[in-house]
Amino acid sequence: MPIGPIEIGGLHVTGRIDRVDRTPDGHVVVDYKLGSAATQAAKLREAGDTQLQLPIYAAAVRAERGGAIDAAFLSVRDAEARRLGADKTADIVERVLPARLAELGERLRTGAFEVAPHECRGCDFRTVCRVVHLSEEDEL
């Protein structure tokens, strides 16, 4: 399902959602992932911070269709969905996401891309990741 353009926190966002389910209360946006369900659960803990995809999808669907909204990653590998939960999704969509995107937009406008080291938890890009490559050089 195509979304947008939708304005959130001063940014105009467009995209395409894998799946939107209608429920008795509203909707659930679903994004298919190849990684494990456990990996998707870890991503959900970052929702609204570094994980913005599902919150943006949820905001777009709620703006277009109204009603309650929930969001989920569905691991194709494990045939298992991990949901964010309607209450948390609503809080992120209403309060967290606009502020986060406004902050990111300001950083884009001012060119503020400072180095922000973080602990590597591994991801699908490990084989080509320069961060991993450089940290392994340090250990030599």
Which residues of the shown chain bind ligand SF4 in the complex (CB under 6 A)?
120-123, 125-126, 129, 131-132
* Residue (79 or 116) nearer to ligand SF4, CB: 116
Instruction: Give the shortest CB-129-to-ligand SF4 separation in angstroms.
Output: 3
Task: DSSP for 35-54, please give it.
Answer: S-HHHHHHHHTTBTTTB-HH
* Residue (109 or 130) nearer to ligand SF4, CB: 130
Can you tell me which residue has the tokens 């105009």? Answer: 12
- Residue 53 near residue 19, CB atoms below 8 Å: no
Report how far residue 62's alpha carbon sits from residue 100's, in angstroms, rounded to the nearest whole number: 18
Instruction: Give the shortest CB-82-to-ligand SF4 separation in angstroms.
Output: 19
* Residue (95 or 133) nearer to ligand SF4, CB: 133
